[in-house]
Structure formats: structure tokens, C-alpha cells
A and B are shown apart, each in its own frame.
Chain A
Amino acid sequence: MKSVVFIFSAAILLASPGAAAQSDAFAEELEAGTADTSASATNDPWEGFNRKMFAVNNVLDEAIVVPAAKVYRATTHKKQRKGIRNLLANARAPFTFVNDILQGEFKRAGDTASRFVVNTTIGFGGMGDPAARMGIEPHTEDFGQTLAVWGLDSGPYLYLPFFGPSTLRDGFGMATETVADPVFWLRTDAASYTRYARTGATALSVREPLLEPLADIKENSLDYYASVRSFYLQSRRREIANGQTVFDDLPDIGGFDDFDELDELLEEDLAEDDLADVLSEDDQ
């Protein structure tokens, strides 16, 4: 669960016919009971490409990012890391503000603007978060979320080298924000330095708290790629809903009514097996 919470908070980084002798009616019942018609059904037509990129990223992660994140952890204090997280979040505030406006969330845009002013001034340029203590809670928005609010479907899952899990829509959102960033267009040494420093600091700051949770997931998962995909897509839906409990598009766990019939059928099936066992014993 720790992993789940962290993945959520840091989703930006990552992300034949049966042999059973079953009657057609039984097969249909099972299908009704287990078919996934929910919006959470996985849309991953580019799985082959995505898995290759996932493998590439994992090599880079193990070779460079994880060792660097461990050094970062060893050489800084928890409070310093918190300060850096705040600083990076504060630097993102203008993007969140624009996206709040584009989504028509004026109250949240006001929160973002107030937080930016308060934290940049009395929060020492954003290292501290006095705004939260005043009761103005942080939130983030990005252009991918805005496109979702405008009604654009996520499109296929897309695992990007360096950037991690995404979708076609959210990848497009990321690209749009990259070119909308003034620092991207400035070709001075200072701008380049800012760009590299910010990218590096963001990578370390996001990866460091994920060291244990991701290692846990990797160890316990039968398919690490599928686990990361599911965690990313699930947490992303909640971000788009601005943290509200999302429940309409959850799959039924066993289609409930259908599932009761399925269960009865399975029980009957089980009873037949038992009968078969008994019969075979009689034969012996």
C-alpha cells in the first residue's frame, strides 16, 4: 500500500480455446460474469514497443538513477529533500495555474496563485510551504489532465524512454508543456544550466522516495511492466478527477448478479468433479 501511495504521488516519473469440457451455456455464463466492460480495461496496443522502452528505462534506472538517488539520500537531510521538493513544486505553479484556468477551475487557480505568492516570498523562494499551514492545500495540474477535462480520451498506453509511463494524450500534454516553457527557448548558458539542473533535481527528488516501494513491487510482481501500467493508469484517473473518489468506472468484481450464477455453476462443476473422483475410486 505504501507503494501504491507513492506511485500515485509520483506518477509523473514513471508508469485459445479452453480445454475444459464446458457446455456453451456455461461458457456464456462465465463470459457474462468475467467480461471486462469497464472504462478501466487496459488499452495497450503498443505493448511490444512499450515493453522494449520499459526494459531500456529499467537498465538506465538501475545503472544511473537508482545509484544517484541513493547518493542523494545519503548526502542530504530529510528536511532538505522536503525543501527541494517544495521548490520544484513551486516552480511548477505557473503551469498548474494556466491549466486550472483552462479547466475552468477558478477557485483552484486562485489557490495556486496564492500559494505561489506566499511560498515564493515568506517561503524563501518556495523552499518552505507556509501556504499549506494557512490552509491553502497544494494540488497539481498538467496539460494532459486539461485535455482529459476537455473530453479527450487517454488513447493507448505509452511508455516513453526517460519519461516513463504515459498515454498518447498525456505524452502529447507533456510535449506541449515542454515547448510552452520559456526556458526551453532561451539559448543562453544560464538557461541551459537551469534546464539541466531542474531536470536532474526533479528526477532525483521523484525517484528517492520511490526507492523501496518500487523495489517491493518489482520483487512481488509476476509482471512488473503490467503492475506499473496498472498503478499508473489507476492513479492518473484519480488525478484527473482532482482527487475525488472515482467509482463509476470501476469494474465489477465478478459482475455481482452474474457472478452469483457463475459461482453456482462452478459449484455444480465442482460437485461433478467430486462425483468423478468417487466413480474412479469405485472403478479401482
Chain B
Amino acid sequence: MFSLKNFRSICVGAFAAAALSSPTVALADEPAESYIGAILVEAEPVLNAETEDAVLDGIADLVDKHVDMRRVALFTLGQYARQMTAEQRDEYLPLFKQYATIVYQNALSNYSGQRLEVTGSIDRSERDIIVNSKLADPNPGDPFADAVIQWRVYRSKDGDMAVVDAGADNVWLAIEQRSQFTSVIANNGGGATGIDALIAQMRKQVGG
């Protein structure tokens, strides 16, 4: 009933489970890699579009389709997200989307005429995955030749994936934005007053 062979396979299984569940072991997440891979394929004609305007419009479309702006918008407010009124939220969310889209356009248009490819991934948790990519065939001397371009993927409870942040060499955009926004709010009296000041500055910045 309890053979040695069974016992051995149980032991092997237990070891494997221990190794896999160890918190220091980060695993690759293939579905997230394929998800980003598909976006990068979609981005290729965009980055190689004829005119600069076409590149920027294409990036805006990609951002609209794949970035979970609402989630990022609330994240960038840090502790102040909970102090926002419903009116402020209705003003802030569309402004943030405009602002962040411009940031993505500036960042990604640096790769115009190039192609990005996925090189691997690290899962912080089942829901939170970092996918790494790099330039596929960088021109000699390209300043981004060795850069690791990173994508933070969020997986919802239903298994849907969305991009929540982008970075290069571990410097992340949304984290930098949160640093700015919380600083603006804090230096303008904090709370609802500070959030009003942030909204006013963002409106000025995006020219809306």
C-alpha cells in the first residue's frame, strides 16, 4: 500500500514544492511574457511609422489600450488618494491620463525606428510581474543598446492582464510620478487643498 517508490516520489514532490514556494525564488511568468511580446509586436509598425506625429498618435493608442490608467492614477497619489473628493477624482483621472500619455510618448519615441523584444520576466507575485525587454538590433553606439526596458504587468483576479508601469534599468515612471505628485500636494498644504493645487498644475502642464 505504501511502497518505497511512492514514498520517493512524495519526497521529490515535497522538495520541489519547498523550492518553488521559497520567497527568494522569483519565477518567470510565460503568459505575461507573451502578453508583453504581443504588445511589442503591435508597437513595431508604430515605432517605424513615417512621421513623428504618426509615432506619437500610435503610442497614445497603445497606451489607451494596454495601460490600466485608473490604477496607476490612484497609485501616484500615494496616501492622498484617500483624501480625494469625488469631484476632485473626476477632474484628476482624465488629467492624469493625458499627463501619463505624454510621458509614455516621450519615453517610447526614443525607440523610433527600432524593435523591442522580450528577454525574460520575474514574478513578484502571481498578480504582479516584471517583464524585461531590450532593443533587438541596436545601432552601434546607441545609448539604449544595453538598457533593460521593463514592463510591470498586473493580473486581475479574473486573469486579465494590464500594464501598470514602465521603466529602464529599474528606474520606474509611476514611482517617479508618485514622488512628484505627493511632493506637490504636501508642499501646497496637503489634503484637499494640496490636491486642488496638483490638479491646477497638471492642467497647466498638459495645456488643458
Chain A interfacial positions (CB closer than 8 Å to B): 1-2, 4-8, 16-20, 22, 27, 30-31, 33-36, 40, 42, 209, 216, 220-223, 225-227, 229-231, 234-235, 237-238, 243, 245-248, 250-254, 256-257, 259-260, 262-263, 266, 269-270, 273
Contact = CB atoms under 8 A, between A and B. Distances in A.
Nearest to B121: A245
Given A2-B144, A20-B85, A225-B183, A256 B128 contact: yes
Contact of B84 (A16, A18, A225): A18
B169 A18 contact: no
Contacts of A22: 82
A230 B175 contact: yes
- The 4 A-B residue pairs with the shortest CB-CB distance, nearest first, are A16-B191, A30-B82, A18-B83, A1-B107
Given A19-B192, A36-B79, A234 B86 contact: no
A254 B74 contact: yes
14 contacts: A1-B144, A1-B147, A5-B168, A5-B169, A7-B171, A18-B85, A20-B85, A31-B82, A229-B179, A230-B175, A253-B164, A260-B156, A263-B70, A273-B86
Contact of A220 (B102, B111, B179, B193): B102
A69 to B, nearest CB: 16
Contacts, number: 171
A253 B72 contact: yes
A20 B148 CA distance: 42
B65 interface: no
Interface string B153-193: 01011000000111111111111101111011001011111
B21 interface: no
